[in-house]
Amino acid sequence: MAAAPNPVSLGNPRSRGDRILALLAPYLSFADHLTLRIVCRGWRRSCRLLGRAPPPFPWLMLPPPSPTRGPPAPGAAQRRVFYDIPRGRTYAYAVPALHRYVASRGGWLVLAAVHPPRRLVLMNPITGARGVIAWPFGEKVIDGFHAVLTSSPADPACFLAVATDRLVAYCRPGRGGGWVTLRAPGFRYDTAGSDVLAVGATVYLVDERRKLWRADLAAAEPKVERRDTAFALPQGERRLHYLVKSLGHVHLVVSDEHHKRMALFRLDWHARMWVPTPADGLGDRVLLLGRGCSAAVPSWAASGRAPGTVLIARQAWGFLHVGSDARGGEQPWFWTESRLNAGLDDQMALKKTVPHRPGVFTAGDSFWFFPGIDSTECA
């Protein structure tokens, strides 16, 4: 007698669905994946493909609101909201409470504990993967610092670098940590004037005088190199600096406090200067600026925004806006939109506000989160 037919091979509905979803996976967006990835095993397998194609426009990580029932307990988790500006969608994920965001790369967040014991937490809020790294400066209390990831922590070649006054500490999160400290004489952390950027394994630092430092962390013997690229500052105005990579070049965006007047410069390391650059020097790019998390994204991913548009998420101290809570001392968080090389009469556009009481590690800017899923996390 003939063997009984295999129900799976004859087209079990679930098996057919697995195959269909696996075939469609490369053509669906990251947001579709987040909505549907729990459907079946085939779909979870397909996320190996989608994990390599994160959305080209990062999400805005909104600060937590002030607690209404007292501060959360140490070690507790709280829901944090991530806002996808082009699509107008929000996502919420659990993030450790009493921690402040300090960096993002490849779907991962770097969070710093506000209260002792000081530590850094690396986590992917979408998958729940996480790890804890010791504080790089021992018992020393650091009021201000920058942090940056050179790639996803799932990459064994990833470095986590933390920069503060005259020091750059770095480690390999994927290899068990272990901090190494480099001296950066002359570098001073400043809330508005200093910033950090990673290009491959090379970390760049800039201060309020526009002096520049860089260190290739993958070198056999890493060391900090310095360039004096200073030029005259306008008198009577405080300037904000943002480092961003675009089209293979390191750029510096210099802005006034209200982001109405901005200028773009390209780094010429060997000539020791910042070269003034027109907006079209970015190509078909829109800039997203934030402290240690700036990016240049294609304009087609920014809901029709023209090349040269600049989005900055921030909390403007002393800026009067309807919705601020004068009694609680809170200020609204929002993002503004301006254009490079625009005239002095160009007005910023207020888009969204979220009340927030700033914490120890919050210093003026909100933050962009670059969502992603590593293929190694897609079992």
The 10s digit of each residue's pLDDT in 224-282 is: 999 987 666 656 567 888 999 998 899 999 887 777 778 899 999 998 888 888 888 88
What's residue 190's pLDDT?
86
Q: Which CATH architecture has domain 54-377?
A: 6 Propeller (2.120)
pLDDT digits (tens, 9 = 90+) for 181-224: 999 988 999 877 899 999 999 999 998 888 899 999 999 999 99
Q: For the chain, what's the residue count?
A: 379
pLDDT above 70 covers a percentage of the chain that reads 69
Contact 119, 134 (CB under 8 A): yes
Average pLDDT (303-307) is 86
Residue of 349, 357, 345 lying closest to 315 (CA atoms): 357
Q: What is the pLDDT of residue 66?
A: 63
pLDDT at 233: 60
Share the mean pLDDT of the chain: 76
Domain ranges within the chain, ordered by starting residue = 54-377
256, 240, 241, 232: which is closest to 346 by C-alpha?
256
**What pTM was estimated for this model as a whole?**
0.81
Which of 142, 194, 200, 131 lies closest to 169, judged by CA? 142
Q: Residue 77 burial by CB count (10 A; 0-12/13-18/19+): exposed, middle or buried?
A: exposed
Q: 364: phi > 0 → left, psi -120 to 50 → alpha, else beta; which?
A: left
